[in-house]
Amino acid sequence: MNERRPSRPQRGRPAPRKQGPRRPPAEDPARRVALDVLRAVRQRDAYANLVLPDLLRRQRLSGRDAALATELAYGASRAQGMLDAIIAACLDRPLDKVDGPVLDCLRLGAYQLLRTRIPQHAAVTSTVDLARADAGSHVAGFVNAVLRKISEQDEDAWMAELTPDRDSDPIGHLAMRTAHPRWVARAFAEALGDKGSDLEAALEADDARPAVHLAARPGEISADELAAITGGDVAPYSPYGVHLPTGAGDPGDSEPIRERLAVVQDEGSQLCAVALTRAPLAGPDERWLDLCAGPGGKAGMLGALAATQGAHVDAVEQAPHRAKLVERATEGLPVTVHVADGRESGLAPGFDRVLVDAPCSGLGALRRRPEARWRRKPSDVPDLSKLQGELLTAALDLTRSGGVVAYVVCSPHLAETEGVVGDVARRSKAQVLDAREFFPGVPQLGDGPYVQLWPHRHGTDAMFCAVLRKP
C-alpha cells in the first residue's frame, strides 16, 4: 500500500486550516452552478450545454464568474472517467458506493485540483463547503480527506500510477490519458487505422474545447463580411464558414445571428451539406430532400443554397418539437417541413438530391457535448446502425434514377459509417462516388471514396460523408 495515501480517508477530521488567503465564501456561486450542472447530468441525464446557460442566468453570473462555472462544469464532465479513476484510488470502497451528491462534489474538487490553477486550499475548502451545505456536516470530513489525498499528486503523477502501459495496452493508455472511455478510443483507432501518434492527436484534439464556428447564410452575407463584423477568421475550407476567437462570449448575442444572417454550425457540418449540392447531376435539379432535418442546421444551409438555384427542399423530421426548430431555422426559405418517420415519409419519390444526416452515436462531436462520452455505450451502436441503414435505403428509394444521396453521420465509428454504406450500396446497387471531389481544398482525406473529417486534421467535428448515385 502506498504510504503517502492511506486507503481510508479519515472521516470527520478536516485538515487544519492554513494561514494565508481567505477562505472562499460558503456558497461560491460559480462553483454552485458547476455543481448543479454535474448533478443535473448525473441525476436526470441532462445535457450540460443546455442546463448551464439557464443556471448562469438564474444566478446572474457573468464575466469571470460565468467563465469559471463553465470551465468547471464542462471540464469536470469531460474528464469524468479520469477523475473517477483517481477518486476510486483514494477510497476504501467501490466508487458506486459513494452517494451521488458526494461524488459530484468529489469530481468538482478533483477537477479543480488536477486541471486548473486554482490554489489547493481554495479548491478543497470551497468544495467541502458545498458538500456540507448539500449533504451535511457528516460528509464534509470525508470529502476533505479524499480531496487532500488527491492533492498529494498532480495529474501527470496520477496518470503515471493509474494508466495502463503504453506498449502493452496502447489504446487503454491513450484512453486514460485523454479522458476517453476505452471503447471510444478503440473506435477512433479502428477508423484511423492507427494506435499510435495519430490516435493520440485525435483523442487530444477531442479533449480540447472547440472553437465556435459560424455559417454565413448563402445569398445574404459573405464569410468575409461575417468575419469582419464578428472579429472572427474566415474558415479554411467552408466557403461560408467563420471561426470565432476563443472566449468570444455568447455568439447568440452577435448581430448577424440575431438578424438570421448566420448560424452557429461546425465547419464540418457546413462542408457535408455543401457536398451534396456539389455532386454533378444530369437532368433536373429542383427537388431536394433532407430526410433527418432536426434541428435544422443543414436544412437552413440547403434551403439558402436552394433559394439561389431555384430549387425547393422538403425537410423531414420525426420529432415534432425538432420539426418546429427546423421551421424556425428555415423561415423565409423554399423549405417545406414534414413531421414523419423518414423510413416511411409518404413523400412522392423522384428527388434529385437527398441528404441523410442520420441519428448517430455522436462520437464525432464529443468535444462539443462535455458529458456525452460517458453516457454513450457501445451497445447503442447496433440499433443506430440498423436505423441508419433503413434511412439510407429509404433515401435511395425516394431518389430519381441518376440522382444523388449524401449519407452523413457525426461519428467515425466504422459500424455507423463504412459498414452502413457498404451494406446498403451492395444491396441497392447504388454507385459510391468519390466524395473527396466534393470537398475541394480539404487536405488529408485519405484514399476515398468516403470522407472522414477529424478535429486534429481539419479542426472540425469528426463528420463522415458518403455520396451515392441511384442507378
Ligand X SMILES: C[S@@+](CC[C@H](N)C(=O)[O-])C[C@H]1O[C@@H](n2cnc3c(N)ncnc32)[C@H](O)[C@@H]1O
Residues annotated as part of the active site: 410
Rg (CA), the chain: 24
Closer residue to ligand X (CB): 48 or 263: 263
268 binds ligand X (CB under 6 A): no
Q: Which of 294, 303, 364, 370 binds ligand X (CB under 6 A)?
A: 294
Task: List the one residue out of 178, 183, 249, 261 whose CA is nearest residue 455.
Answer: 178
Select 7 or 336, whichever has its Cβ closest to ligand X: 336
- Residues 341-360 interacting with ligand X (rule: CB under 6 A): 341-343, 357, 359
Instruction: Say if residues 120 and 151 touch (Cβ distance below 8 Å).
Output: yes
Instruction: Determine if 215 is a binding residue for ligand X (CB under 6 A).
Output: no
Closer to ligand X by Cβ: residue 164 or 334: 334
We find the least distance from the C-beta atom of residue 109 to ligand X, in angstroms, to be 35
Q: Does 293 sit near ligand X (CB under 6 A)? A: yes
| Cis peptide bond prior to 382, omega within 30° of 0 | no
297 is in an annotated binding site: yes
What separation in angstroms does the CA of 222 have from each of 216, 238, 242, 257? 6, 11, 10, 14
Q: In sequence order, what are the residues at sequence separation of 6 or more whose Cβ sits closer than 8 angstroms to the Cβ of residue 74? A: 48, 49, 52, 209, 370
Q: In 3D, which of 43, 104, 47 has the Cα closest to residue 366?
A: 47
Half-sphere exposure of 68 (CA within 13 A, CB side): 18
Q: Does 317 bind ligand X (CB under 6 A)?
A: yes
Shortest Å distance, C-beta 221 to ligand X: 20
Judged by beta carbon, residue 130 or residue 394, the one nearer ligand X is 394
Strand 233-234 versus strand 241-243 pairing type: antiparallel
**Is 81 within any annotated ligand binding site?**
no
141 binds ligand X (CB under 6 A): no
Question: Does 295 participate in binding ligand X (rule CB under 6 A)?
Answer: yes
In angstroms, the CA 416 to CA 427 distance is 17
Q: Nearest distance from residue 317's CB to ligand X, in Å?
A: 5
Do residues 276 and 433 touch, judged by C-beta distance below 8 A?
no
Residue 319 in contact with ligand X, rule: CB under 6 A: yes
Closest distance of CB 460 from ligand X, Å: 13
Q: Would you count residue 380 as binding ligand X (CB under 6 A)?
A: no
Q: Bridge-partner residues for 409, per DSSP?
A: 464
Nearer to ligand X, 204 or 341 (CB): 341
Does the footprint of ligand X cover residue 267 (CB under 6 A)?
Answer: no
Question: Could you tell me which residues come within 8 angstroms of residue 198 by beta carbon, excluding any fewer than 6 positions away?
Answer: 192, 456
294 in a known ligand binding site: yes
Q: Could you say whether residue 364 binds ligand X (CB under 6 A)?
A: no
Q: In what order do the strands lie in the sheet with 241-243?
A: 233-234, 241-243, 213-216, 262-264
* 93: its cell numbers: 470502497
Does position 157 interact with ligand X (CB under 6 A)? The reply is no
| Cβ proximity of 247 and 211 under 8 Å | no
Residue count at the site for ligand X (CB under 6 A)?
18
C-alpha 351/C-alpha 454 separation (Å) is 30
Which of residues 73 and 408 has its CB atom nearest to ligand X in the complex? 408
Shortest Å, Cβ 334 to ligand X: 17
Residue 316 within binding range of ligand X, rule CB under 6 A: yes
Which stretches of 138-237 are assigned E, i.e. beta strand? Answer: 213-216, 233-234
Stretch that binds ligand X, among 131-139, 187-195, 310-318, 367-375 (CB under 6 A): 310-318
Site membership for ligand X, residue 318 (CB under 6 A): yes
170 scored as a contact of ligand X (CB under 6 A): no
231: left (phi over 0), alpha (psi -120 to 50) or beta: left
Q: Binding to ligand X (CB under 6 A): which residues in 193-212?
A: none
Beta carbon of residue 71, minimum distance to ligand X (angstroms, whole number): 27
Task: Give the residue ranges of DSSP H helices in 59-163.
Answer: 63-78, 80-89, 100-115, 120-135, 137-150, 155-162
Residues annotated in a binding site? 292-298, 317, 341, 357
Residues forming the site for ligand X (CB under 6 A): 269, 292-298, 316-319, 322, 341-343, 357, 359
**Annotated binding-site ranges for S-adenosyl-L-methionine:** 292-298, 317, 341, 357
